[in-house]
Amino acid sequence: MVDGCVQVITTAPTEEAALDLARGIVDGRFGACAQVVGPIRSVYRWEGAVRVEQEWQCQVKTTTEHLHALTRYIADHHPYDVPEIVATRIVGGSEEYLSWVRAETAPVDG
């Protein structure tokens, strides 16, 4: 298992919203990089109804140390009332890449 790296996924209603989140995340050093993927189709239940919507997915590579700050950033800057914010521990991969991820995230402020 690789210590300290996670991938966080969120979705946004438009490509622009996903790109804005991705830019803010990387610019604020909450994550080393963010890929915007889409469009995708999401099927979910909301307010008692099943909905099918087009969305864009934002995949962020960061460290466990920065997960709380990243989660807070997404929640504060996301257009949804209840945004998807799911973190998955990275259990393997290129050590050179993961070292870069760790190096490109800023220290968490107090």
Task: Over range 36-43, report the average pLDDT.
Answer: 98
pLDDT one-digit tens code per residue, 45-70 = 999 999 999 999 999 999 999 999 99
Among the four given CATH numbers 3.40.225.10, 3.40.50.720, 2.60.40.1180, 3.30.70.120, the one describing domain 5-103: 3.30.70.120
- Residue 8 above 60 pLDDT? yes
Q: What is the mean pLDDT of the chain?
A: 94
CA distance 78 to 88: 20
Q: What is the distance of C-alpha 94 from the center of its chain?
A: 20
Which residue reads 């099927």 in tokens? 43
What pLDDT score was predicted for residue 1? 47
- Closest C-alpha among 77, 84, 79, 62 to residue 9: 84
Of 27-31, 33-37, 102-106, minimum mean pLDDT range: 102-106
pLDDT band at 91 (very low <50, low <70, confident <90, very high): very high
- Domain locations in the chain as residue ranges: 5-103
Percentage with pLDDT > 90 across the chain: 91
Calculate mean pLDDT across residues 7-15: 98
Q: How large is the average pLDDT for residues 6-19?
A: 98
